[in-house]
């Protein structure tokens, strides 16, 4: 029977986000057409991805996408891999249930793992409520796809999955249930309620057992040291929470042992106990010397947290910070920022400081060539930037007036900039979520990034250039901030006066192939230097170091702010 349409090109997100982003050598058993490998390579281009696939047409397509693809029987004891380092990750996505002897196969393959490598598997749960429901009615489940796919040879429950892992000599890191239609699972258990006591079944334990359709398993050769990262973020704003909080923590949580929670406003804290390392990352806290703030900080200290302030703008722009004695920085164990100029300003208030430049989580696909006569689409997206773009608006309008048919402008957030453009083909997207912002950027060809030379701007990061370059846009930017990131004439063009801006835009209109050439070089720069995965080792090492030094850091904190000593 043929597989369902698209079967070999699916990506299981619960697998994707659990592959350590630091992995450099991955073997995927049952790689299909290579979709999971392609998705991971956008996050970690340096990975060597090997696939094993028995279906010929899927394997043929995968060979054009992955580094090595083997058409082989995965259960063959003589199976050998290409010359590779030990595996950082061995993936069995919906495969083990198809094998004749998954226990022996997995035991052989576990020997291929590096010392800190992991097994990652997605395994169906035969205890699922839909299976029990049919068995209670005397029917053996028969499906063409799903738990009782006709090609399945073995079935597992949570307990037998644990036994499978331990039988291979591996340590279970986590077992994540994949639950769909939870309301139907709850209704099934509710119907059984009168019989549970007689059967000696606990209602909650039964619900937890029958709800998962599948389990995602992570295991390794040795225990993974735990690290809990909790984050109090701002309310959602364009990119600020995504780039500084959500995306880095999601990448860190791909590492075995690391768990992360993000909440805007408040969060249930872990109870005070010494065994679980825990760090609270607090985005732009407005810490005052009032009793409410001090009590909140004391509570975090009582619960054993290392407190990190996350900050990414010039603090002098908000006078309340200085008016409260810079408690925003002095009242925490450590501070993390996005740029070195910002670090220089904050470090006198707290010497325990780390700089993590802004990055993008994944690399979008490369761009197709521009077609002859295709208009160039220019992107501008910013908030409160009139002082930065106003000196250049006349130059832009002159360029557009010379060939209005050659230009389209996409504006996000800034209605004033949109209305100042003398160009018929322009569009405006109001303030939006980060995904929409990136979607608008992705359909453009050129990014216009002006920043006036002010103290506030010099504290800004080069994030907009990183985002634009990742999407393959050619960048024309001011030297403020961007001059330290872009290589003039290689990854972007810098302008200091109207003539330079006019010359760049005229040149690109006359030779549009240069637009794509600049975009490709910028994209390569991001792939080399500005992907979130590249920061994960540094971030994890710093957070673990803070925990290891927490007693000394707490002593320094209480010396800076004696009012934080617990009065009890």
Q: What average pLDDT does this structure show over 100-107?
A: 94
**Using CA atoms, how far apart are residues 224 and 342, in angstroms rounded to an integer?**
34
The pLDDT score that the predictor gives to residue 283 is 95
State how far the alpha carbon of 316 is from the alpha carbons of 113, 286, 312, 452, in Å. Answer: 51, 13, 12, 17
Query: Strand ranges (DSSP E) for 419-478?
Result: 426-429, 446-449, 474-477
Exposure string over 1-21, b if 16+ CB within 10 A, otherwise e = eeeeeeebeeebeebbbbbbb
pLDDT at residue 5 greater than cutoff 60: no
Q: Residue 397 in contact with residue 421, Cβ under 8 Å? A: yes
More confident residue, 306 or 10: 306
Would you state the pLDDT for residue 151?
A: 81
Model confidence over 191-219: pLDDT tens digits? 999 999 999 999 999 999 999 999 999 99
Comparing C-alpha atoms, which of 565, 553, 558 is closest to residue 354? 553
pTM across the whole model: 0.92
What is the edge-to-edge ordering of all strands in the sheet holding 334-337? 258-264, 227-233, 278-283, 306-310, 334-337, 353-355
Describe the strand order of the beta sheet including 68-70 as a list of residue ranges: 68-70, 48-52, 25-29, 87-93, 113-124, 212-220, 171-179
| Cβ neighbours of residue 349 closer than 8 Å, sequence gap 6 or more | 326, 329, 330
- pLDDT for res 470: 98
pLDDT of 9:
72
Burial class (CB in 10 A: 0-12, 13-18, 19+), 89: buried
pLDDT tens readout for residues 406-415: 999 999 999 9
Rounded percentage of the chain residues whose pLDDT exceeds 90: 85
Q: Could you tell me the CA-to-CA distances from 190 to 71, 210, 289 in Å, in that order?
A: 47, 12, 52
Residue 2, pLDDT above cutoff 50: no
Q: Is 494 helix (H, G, I), strand (E, B) or coil?
A: strand
**Average pLDDT of the chain?**
93
344 phi and psi, to 5 degrees?
Answer: -60, -35
pLDDT surpasses 80 at 450: yes
Give the number of other CB atoms < 10 A from CB of residue 133. Answer: 16
Question: In sequence order, what are the residues at sequence separation of 6 or more whose Cβ sits closer than 8 angstroms to the Cβ of residue 45?
Answer: 363, 527, 531
Rg of the Cα trace of the chain?
Answer: 27
Q: 410 is written with which tokens?
A: 């996409």
DSSP lists the bridge partners of residue 376 as 407
Burial of 466 (0-12, 13-18, 19+ CB in 10 A): buried
What is the pLDDT, as a whole number, of residue 223?
Answer: 94
Tens digits of residue pLDDT in 213-249: 999 999 999 999 999 999 999 876 656 899 999 999 9
For the record, the structure tokens of 407 come out as 């230009």
- Does an H or E element contain 436, and which? helix 434-442
Model pLDDT for residues 118-151, shown as the tens digit of each residue:
999 999 999 999 999 989 989 887 766 678 777 8
Residue 566 above 50 pLDDT? yes
* 267 pLDDT tier (thresholds 50, 70, 90): confident
Q: Write phi, then psi, for 219 (nearest 5 degrees).
A: -145, 160
Q: What region, left, alpha or beta, does residue 284 occupy, with left being phi > 0 and alpha being psi -120 to 50 degrees?
A: left
Which of 550, 545, 532 shows the shortest CA–CA distance to 252? Answer: 532
Which DSSP category does 327 fall into? H
The pLDDT of residue 178:
96
Residue 274 pLDDT exceeds 90: no
Q: Which of 2-16, 67-81, 340-354, 531-545 has the lowest mean pLDDT?
A: 2-16
Position 8 confidence tier, pLDDT thresholds 50, 70, 90: low
Nearest to 96 by CA among 177, 19, 168, 29: 29
Which is it for the CA torsion 276, 535, 14, 231, positive or negative? Answer: positive
Cα 142 versus chain centre, distance: 38
Contact 285, 235 (CB under 8 A): no
pLDDT grade for 152, boundaries at 50, 70 and 90: confident
Q: Given this model, what pLDDT does residue 205 score? A: 94
Residue 320 and residue 434: Cα distance in Å, rounded? 28
Q: Are 61 and 85 in contact (CB under 8 A)?
A: no
């Amino acid at each position: 029977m043929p597989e369902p349409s698209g079967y070999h090109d699916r990506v299981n997100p619960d697998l994707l986000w659990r592959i350590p982003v630091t992995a450099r050598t991955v073997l995927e058993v049952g790689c299909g057409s290579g979709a999971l490998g392609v998705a991971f390579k956008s996050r970690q281009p340096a990975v060597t991805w090997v696939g094993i696939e028995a279906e010929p047409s899927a394997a043929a397509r995968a060979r054009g996408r992955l580094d090595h693809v083997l058409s082989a029987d995965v259960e063959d004891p003589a199976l050998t891999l290409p010359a590779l380092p030990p595996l950082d990750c061995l993936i069995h996505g919906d495969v083990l249930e198809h094998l004749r002897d998954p226990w022996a196969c997995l035991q052989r393959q576990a020997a291929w793992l590096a010392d800190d490598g992991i097994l990652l598997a997605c395994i169906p749960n035969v205890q699922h409520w839909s299976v029990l429901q049919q068995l209670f009615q005397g029917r053996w489940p028969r499906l063409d796809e799903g738990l009782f796919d006709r090609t399945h040879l073995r079935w597992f429950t949570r307990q037998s999955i644990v036994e499978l892992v331990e039988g291979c000599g591996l340590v279970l890191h986590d077992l994540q249930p994949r639950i769909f239609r939870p309301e139907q699972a709850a209704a099934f258990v509710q119907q059984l309620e009168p019989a549970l006591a007689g059967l000696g079944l606990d209602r909650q334990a039964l619900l937890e057992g029958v709800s998962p359709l599948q389990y995602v398993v992570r295991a390794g050769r040795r225990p993974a040291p735990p690290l809990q990262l909790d984050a109090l973020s701002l309310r959602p704003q364009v990119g600020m929470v995504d780039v500084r909080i959500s995306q880095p923590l999601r990448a860190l949580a791909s590492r075995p042992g690391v768990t992360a929670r993000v909440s805007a406003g408040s969060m249930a804290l872990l109870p005070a106990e010494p065994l679980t390392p825990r760090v609270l990352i607090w985005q732009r806290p407005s810490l005052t010397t009032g009793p409410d703030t001090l009590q909140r900080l004391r509570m975090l200290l009582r619960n054993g947290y290392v407190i990190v302030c996350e900050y990414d703008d010039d603090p002098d722009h908000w006078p309340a910070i200085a008016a409260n004695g810079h408690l925003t920085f002095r009242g925490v164990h450590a501070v993390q920022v996005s740029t070195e100029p910002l670090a220089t300003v904050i470090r006198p208030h707290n010497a325990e400081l780390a700089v993590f430049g802004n990055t993008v989580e994944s690399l979008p696909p490369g761009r197709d060539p521009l077609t002859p006569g295709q208009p160039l689409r220019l992107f501008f997206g910013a908030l409160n930037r009139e002082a930065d773009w106003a000196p250049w608006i006349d130059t832009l309008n002159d360029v557009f007036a010379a060939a209005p048919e050659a230009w389209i402008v996409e504006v996000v957030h800034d209605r004033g900039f949109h209305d100042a453009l003398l160009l018929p083909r322009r569009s405006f997207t109001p303030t939006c979520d980060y995904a929409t912002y990136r979607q608008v950027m992705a359909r453009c060809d050129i990014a216009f990034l002006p920043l006036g030379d002010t103290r506030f701007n010099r504290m800004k990061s080069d994030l907009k250039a990183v985002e634009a370059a990742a999407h393959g846009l050619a960048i024309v930017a001011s030297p403020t901030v961007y001059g330290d990131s872009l290589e003039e004439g290689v990854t972007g063009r810098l302008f200091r006066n109207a003539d330079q801006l006019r010359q760049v835009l005229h040149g690109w209109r006359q030779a549009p192939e240069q637009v794509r050439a600049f975009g490709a070089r910028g994209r390569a720069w991001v792939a080399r230097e500005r992907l979130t995965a590249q920061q994960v080792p540094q971030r994890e090492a710093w957070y673990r170091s803070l925990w290891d030094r927490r007693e000394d850091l707490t002593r320094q904190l209480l010396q800076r702010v004696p009012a934080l000593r617990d009065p009890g």
